[in-house]
C-alpha cells in the first residue's frame, strides 16, 4: 500500500510536467508559424487590392475605413488614390451563406460606384461547382444577362444584384445556385459599405441591407446538387466539410 500510495503523486507530477512541456512546444510552434502566415495573408490582400482598383500611388492599407457588421464581423474599405484624388475603393467583404460556409471577397469600385473587378480571398465551395465562382463571374453571359462583374454599374441596378432564378438579371453558376446567391450577397454588401465610405450615394443609388437572409428553398438546394452524371450528392457534401 505504501508503494502504491507513493506512486500517485509521482504520476501526477509526471503528467503535469508532460502537459507543461507539450504546451510550451505548441506555444513555440504557434509563434514560429504565425508570422509567416500573417505575411502571406498581407501579401495576398495587397495583391487583391492592386487587382480590383485602378492604378494608385498611395498605400491603401494606411487609408482604410472599418465598418462593424453584426457583433463580430468587420467590413474594410481601402481607399486607392492617385495624385491625392480617390480613384477607387477596395472593399474586403464576405457572406456566410455559401454552400460550404463563409466566402471572403475583395470587390473594387471606381469613384462612380462601378465594379472594377473582384478577387476571391477564401471559400469552402465544392470543386468543379461553386468553386468556379472566380472563373464564372469573370466570363461574359451567353444569354444577355449579367455574368461578368467587371463594369457592372451598381447604381443602375439599384444597389442590388440578384440571380435570374429569383427575378434578377444575373446568370447563376450552373448547378450552384446557392453559391451564386451567396457571392452576390457579398458583392451587395461591398457596395453598401462603399456607399458609407464615400459618404453619399451616387445618383440613383440606394444603400441596401446586404445582411438580409438569402433564400435557400428546396428548389435551390436541388440546383446546387450536381446530377448523378457528374458527382453523387453525398460526395458533394463531403467536399464541402
- pTM score, whole prediction: 0.72
Number of C-beta neighbours around residue 132 at 10 A: 18
39 grid coordinates: 505575411
Q: How many Cα atoms sit within 13 Å of 53 on the Cβ side?
A: 34
Weakest-pLDDT range from 41-55, 121-135, 182-196, 226-240: 226-240
Average confidence (pLDDT) over 52-70: 95
Average confidence (pLDDT) over 139-160: 96
β-strand partners of 75: 67
Predicted pLDDT at 32: 74
Predicted pLDDT at 199: 87
Average confidence (pLDDT) over 212-240: 41
pLDDT tops 90 at residue 216: no
Average confidence (pLDDT) over 129-149: 96
Between these two residues, 62 and 210, which has the higher pLDDT value? 62
pLDDT tops 60 at residue 241: no
What is the pLDDT of the chain when averaged over all its residues?
A: 83
pLDDT-derived band at 6, boundaries 50, 70, 90: low
pLDDT tops 50 at residue 13: yes
Can you give the length of the chain in residues?
Answer: 241
pLDDT tens digits for range 86-130 = 999 999 999 999 999 999 999 999 999 999 999 999 999 999 999
**DSSP codes joined into one string, 163-205:** BGGGTSSBPPBTTBHHHHHHHHHHHHHHHHHHHHHHSSPPTT-
Predicted pLDDT at 41: 77
Helix (H, G, I), strand (E, B) or coil at 73: strand
Predicted pLDDT at 236: 39
pLDDT-derived band at 42, boundaries 50, 70, 90: confident
Domain boundaries, the chain: 55-198
pLDDT-derived band at 82, boundaries 50, 70, 90: very high
Between these two residues, 19 and 109, which has the higher pLDDT value? 109
Closest to 157 in 3D by CA, of 194, 199, 188: 188
Amino acid at each position: 500500500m505504501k508503494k502504491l500510495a507513493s506512486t500517485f503523486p509521482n504520476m501526477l507530477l509526471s503528467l503535469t510536467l508532460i502537459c507543461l512541456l507539450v504546451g510550451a512546444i505548441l506555444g513555440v510552434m504557434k509563434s514560429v508559424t504565425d508570422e509567416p502566415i500573417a505575411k502571406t495573408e498581407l501579401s495576398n490582400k495587397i495583391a487583391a487590392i492592386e487587382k480590383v482598383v485602378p492604378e494608385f500611388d498611395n498605400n491603401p492599407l494606411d487609408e482604410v475605413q472599418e465598418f462593424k457588421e453584426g457583433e463580430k464581423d468587420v467590413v474594410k474599405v481601402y481607399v486607392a488614390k492617385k495624385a491625392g484624388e480617390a480613384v477607387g475603393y477596395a472593399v474586403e467583404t464576405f457572406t456566410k451563406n455559401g454552400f460550404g460556409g463563409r466566402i471572403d471577397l475583395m470587390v473594387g469600385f471606381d469613384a462612380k460606384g462601378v465594379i472594377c473587378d473582384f478577387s476571391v480571398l477564401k471559400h469552402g465551395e465544392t470543386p468543379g461547382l461553386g468553386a468556379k465562382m472566380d472563373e464564372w463571374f469573370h466570363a461574359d453571359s451567353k444569354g444577355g444577362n449579367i455574368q461578368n462583374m467587371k463594369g457592372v454599374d451598381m447604381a443602375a441596378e439599384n444597389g442590388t444584384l440578384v440571380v435570374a432564378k429569383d427575378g434578377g438579371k444575373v446568370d447563376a453558376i450552373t448547378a450552384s445556385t446557392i453559391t451564386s446567391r451567396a457571392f452576390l450577397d457579398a458583392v451587395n454588401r461591398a457596395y453598401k459599405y462603399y456607399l458609407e465610405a464615400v459618404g453619399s450615394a451616387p445618383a440613383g443609388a440606394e444603400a441596401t441591407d446586404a445582411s438580409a437572409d438569402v433564400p435557400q428553398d428546396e428548389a435551390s438546394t436541388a440546383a446546387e446538387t450536381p446530377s448523378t452524371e457528374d458527382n453523387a450528392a453525398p460526395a458533394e457534401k463531403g467536399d464541402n466539410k
